[in-house]
Amino acid sequence: MFCSLKQSGLTSSTFSNPLIEKTQALKHQRSLLFSLSKPPIKGVNLVVCKSFKSSAKPLYISSIKELGSSFKLRNRGNVIECKAHEDESIETKSSAAAAAAQKVKISIYFATWWALNVIFNIYNKKVLNAFPYPWFSSALSLATGSLFMFISWATRIVEPPSTDFDFWKSLFPVAVAHTIGHVAATVSMANVAVSFTHIIKSGEPACSVLVSRFLLGETFPTGVYLSLIPIIGGCALSALTELNFNMTGFNGAMISNLAFVFRNIFSKRGMKGKSISGMNYYACLSIMSFLILTPFAIAVEGPQMWAAGWQNALSQIGPNFLWWVAAQSLCYHLYNQFSYMSLDEISPLTFSIGNTMKRISVIVSTIIIFRTPVQPINALGAAIAIFGTFLYSQAKQ
Ligand code: 3PG
């Protein structure tokens, strides 16, 4: 690309032109001058170069012209003008390589997020079947995540975030919503099939639009409102035809949807202007949620129930039960961490499409693993609801 003669900023460069074996760029009155180790023309030892944008790319000389005696610089002999251009292919190649690397990184984050989410859902349900204490199980997964991050910070595997009182204050409403959403989803999964919880949870965009419209006064394109018809209709069809329908399970999933809508609203407001990585943000959220949840978990279930239930589960399942608990707790933290790391790299819209895809993998895999009976009309309801969330994502663009 050709630019103005006046541009400067280059400190050194190598030409591919064999005419000039070795050049060094010098700044001179905002022009770029090249001193030549072997002057190509007798008496000429300076070249004014006409085209520069950045210093990173090699320059190719496209023309060289003697400027004559009027351009003679003091003690520097005659001056010739050369036009050079940067190697644009370098920029194209390096930006294409960076974009490809970014795509690979995001794909790894997505794949890890989904895989860990599927594993979490399977082991969480196995634990809840043997040990039906969702408040304990929710608190334990938050405690495990917090401990995991304290160890990562102490060993400097992860750089600890620098936070202030304002940060924790703005995190508080997010943590309250996260705690409610997490415990409500776990209560739901303790009462109904995991697939059913996730079918209802695929209605989250509908809750988001309704809350934003009626509580915050936001308006959306007509397509967004229309997409709510299949979302709500599909979820309703699925709920009405669910063989093991249970009101606590349904309400838990709905409360979780609402709580996560508020979590997203508060976290968007709280994070404005703050710089903290997705990984550390989720770690702080876990710690605060654990502190909020623990007293409620003790009040609702309590250590006596937990001790008796734990013994019972151990005697029924054996030592494998401990592995199940470890898998569900650790995977809960890690899948959320990867989802927040993905959110760091992509738009909220891509994130919500990814989340919907994740629900499909969870619904299908848990139906297979737990041999959940599914009627065709029930599956149709789930498919309509999920299709609706795709329409919603498209309409929101
Ligand atoms: C939880 O326990 O927090 C929920 O299962 C979360 O569900 P989601 O991450 O799939 O929305």
Q: What is the DSSP string of 277-296?
A: -HHHHHHHHHHHHHHHHHHH
Q: What is the reported pLDDT for 62?
A: 64
Q: Are 290 and 338 within one domain?
A: yes
Averaged pLDDT, groups of 10, the chain, 397 residues long: 33 32 33 44 48 53 60 52 64 79 90 95 97 97 97 96 91 96 97 94 88 87 91 91 90 95 81 78 96 98 96 96 97 92 79 82 93 91 91 82
Show the CA angle centred on residue 92, arms to residues 90 and 96, nearest 5°.
115
Residue 121 Cα to ligand 1 middle (Å)? 9
Domain shared by 117 and 168, yes or no: yes
**pTM for this prediction:** 0.74
- Is residue 51 included in any domain, yes or no? yes
Q: Which of 59, 87, 115 is the last residue of a domain?
A: 87
CA of 178 to the centre of ligand 1 (A): 9
Tokens of 343: 């959110």
Ligand 1 centroid–CA 305 distance in Å is 25
Residue 90 has what pLDDT? Answer: 64
**Is 201 near ligand 1, meaning CB less than 6 Å away?**
yes
Name 334's Cβ contacts closer than 8 Å, sequence gap at least 6.
112, 116
pLDDT at 56: 53
User: Residue 10: inside a domain, yes or no?
Assistant: no
Ligand 1 atom at minimum distance from 117 CA: 10
Q: Is residue 5 part of a domain?
A: no
Q: For residue 1, is it within any domain?
A: no
Residue 69 sits in the same domain as residue 107: no
Question: Last residue of some domain: 37, 58, 87?
Answer: 87
Structural domain total, the chain: 2
Asked if 75 and 133 sit in the same domain, the reply is: no
The pLDDT, as a whole number, for residue 343 is: 80
Boundary of a domain, candidates 87, 112, 133: 87
To test the pocket of ligand 1, the residue of 118, 135, 194, 201 to mutate (highest count of ligand atoms within 8 Å of its CB) is 201
- Asked if residue 3 belongs to a domain, the reply is no
Residues 32 and 163 in one domain: no
Expressed in angstroms and rounded, the spacing between residue 192 Cα and the centre of ligand 1 is 15
- Give domain status of residue 2, yes or no: no
| Residue identifier of the C-alpha nearest atom 5 of ligand 1 | 185
**Shared domain check, 306 and 247:** yes
Q: Do residues 74 and 123 both lie within one domain?
A: no
For ligand 1, the distance from its centroid to the CA atom of residue 323, given in whole angstroms, is 21
- Pick from 117, 142, 182 the residue to mutate for probing ligand 1's pocket: most ligand atoms within 8 Å of its CB: 182
Residue 6 lies in a domain: no
Within-domain flag for 42: yes
Question: What per-residue confidence (pLDDT) applies to 266?
Answer: 84
The per-residue pLDDT for 26 is 33
Shared domain for 235 and 373, answered yes or no, is: yes
| 141 shares its domain with 41 | no
- Alpha-carbon distance of 396 to 387, in angstroms, equals 14
List the domain range (segments joined by +) for residue 192: 100-396
Instruction: Among 122, 128, 256, 292, name the best residue to mutate to test ligand 1's pocket (greatest count of ligand atoms within 8 A of Cβ).
Output: 256
- The pairs formed by 275-281 with CB atoms below 8 angstroms and a separation of 24 or more are 276/161, 276/163, 276/167, 277/161, 277/341, 277/344, 278/337, 278/340, 278/341, 278/342, 278/343, 278/344, 279/158, 279/337, 279/340, 279/341, 280/149, 280/158, 280/159, 280/160, 280/161, 281/161, 281/340
- 301 and 232 within one domain: yes
CB of 186 sitting under 6 A from ligand 1:
yes
| Any ligand 1 atom below 6 A from CB of 182 | yes
User: Do 201 and 330 sit in the same domain of this protein?
Assistant: yes
Q: Are residues 30 and 123 in the same domain?
A: no
Predicted local confidence at residue 390, as pLDDT: 86
CB burial string 126-147: b at 16+ within 10 A, e below: bbbebbbbbbbbbbbbbbbbbb
Q: Whose CA is nearest to atom 2 of ligand 1?
A: 182
The radius of gyration of the chain from alpha carbons, rounded to an integer in Å, stands at: 31
